[in-house]
Structure 1
Amino acid sequence: MPSLQSLNEANEKNFTNCLSGIFENSPWVAKKVLKFRPFHSVHHLHERMVQIVAESPLEEQLELIRSHPHLGAAGINMSEDSVNEQLQAGLKNLSQEDNDSFQQLNQAYLEKFDFPFIFAVKGKDKSTVHKVLEERLTRSPAIEFETALCEIYQIAMFRLEDKLSIKGDSVYGQRT
């Protein structure tokens, strides 16, 4: 696993390859954050990546949201990170009853909002995910769009911590 220092010193190709999966199927975020090097902490890197997404046109943000897989579904274009995150949350190998329920809720969510339900599942279990999915179906599209982006930002932070394996390190704690 790379360190923050090695990431700061990496050539463009290695840098983007390392960070291309931080935002699901959206390597454009990694390419755009390159110009902000050096990063003094994971927080600093994450902050810049979030800034890039937040300042992107609405269509790019929507494309980013739509690049995420449905929770509890077997996705053809699901990244390895997503597979592992869903596995740890108990969303893989669901019973037929749980699978049917998730599929129905995911479909209702997609029909209402025109993008998949996004939830940072790390540290959560399938019943929590199911409950949150039901609750968020009652929200307005504008609120849910912003919530989806915030969840994506949280997922990105988890992935950065895992990728750079420096959580708890003094470098992580520095805020810039």
Structure 2
Amino acid sequence: MVSIKQLSDVSYSEFIHILKDIFEHSPWVPERTWNYRPFSSIEDLHGKMAGRVNEASDEEKLRLIRAHPNLGTRLAMSNSSVQEQASAGLSDLTAEEYENFSQLNKQYMEKFGFPFIMAVKGRTKGEIYECMEKRIAHGVKDEFETALAEIEKIALFRLCEIIQNEE
């Protein structure tokens, strides 16, 4: 772990290295956050990183959403995603559950053009599946915004795992 003060003082390349996977496969977020140092807390850093996402173009936001893996699939993904999905029981799906998730993911992807995104920490596979079933009824614009809000939650969880606030 690194402290928030230490993170504010590291070199540009170390800063990017430490934060490159906070927003899934999107190192452009910490790259654009570098000039906002120093950070007073994890929440301050998170807010500044989320601000860079909010300022991004719709195309960049869509690439960020698409950088996330489908939930409950067996595709290659970042270590953080693997751990997050495992903690929600998504790495231990039965054959039937896997098929159900696969079918719903396919329907979701066909409708929206991007994967279903949900901050799964503290959730069960049943809760996740129910949420997928509900959100597939959303419109594209609403679901785009929901996906970005979930990505912000995921980013905060990830920051809390690697950074400690000063006491």
Aligned position for 1:147: 146
Partner of 2:115: 116
The equivalent of 1:125 in structure 2 is 124
**Where do 5+ consecutive residues of structure 2 fail to align?**
none
* Paired letter, 1:55: E
The alignment status of 1:11 with 2:6, answered yes or no, reads: no
Match of 1:46 in 2: 46
Structure 2 equivalent of residue 158 of structure 1: 157
After superposition, give the CA deviation of every residue in 1:126-169 in whole Å (9 maximum; x if it has no partner): 00000000000011001000000000000000000111144xx6
C-alpha deviation, 1:100, in angstroms: 0.1
Question: Cα offset for 1:75?
Answer: 1.8
The reply to whether residue 92 of structure 1 matches residue 91 of structure 2 is yes
Q: 1:44, 1:119 → 2: CA distance?
A: 22
> Structure 1 residues 88, 165: CA separation in 2 closer, same or farther (over 3 Å shift)?
farther
Structure 1: which amino acid aligns with 2:140?
A: P
Cα distance between partner residues in 2 of 1:48 and 1:74: 33
Q: Deviations over 1:84-131 (max 9, x none)?
A: 000000000310000000000000000000000000000001000000
TM-score between both structures, scaled by the size of structure 1: 0.93
Are the counterparts in 1 of residues 42 and 164 from structure 2 also a CA contact under 8 Å? no
Question: Tell me, what secondary structure is at the counterpart of 1:110?
Answer: helix
| Kept after mapping to 1: 8 A contact 2:16/2:27 | yes
Give the percent of matched residue pairs that are identical in Structure 1 and Structure 2: 44
After superposition, the Cα gap between the structure-2 partners of 1:165 and 1:90, relative to the gap in structure 1 and judged at 3 Å, is: farther
Which 4+ runs in 1 deviate beyond 4 A?
none
Measured in 1, the distance between the counterparts of 2:137 and 2:30 equals: 33
Aligned to 1:36: 36
SS in 2 for 1:115: coil
CA distance in 1, matches of 2:117, 2:80: 14
Distance 1:122 1:28 in 2: 24
Give how far 1:30 is off.
Answer: 0.9
| Cα distance in 2 between the residues matched to 1:46 and 1:24 | 14
CA distance in 1, matches of 2:132, 2:31: 32
1:69 corresponding residue in structure 2? 69
Amino acid corresponding to residue 59 of structure 2 in structure 1: E
Partner Cα separation in structure 2 for residue 19 and residue 42 of structure 1: 12
- C-alpha RMSD of matched pairs (Å): 0.9
Separation (CA, whole Å) in 1 of partners of 2:3 and 2:80: 19
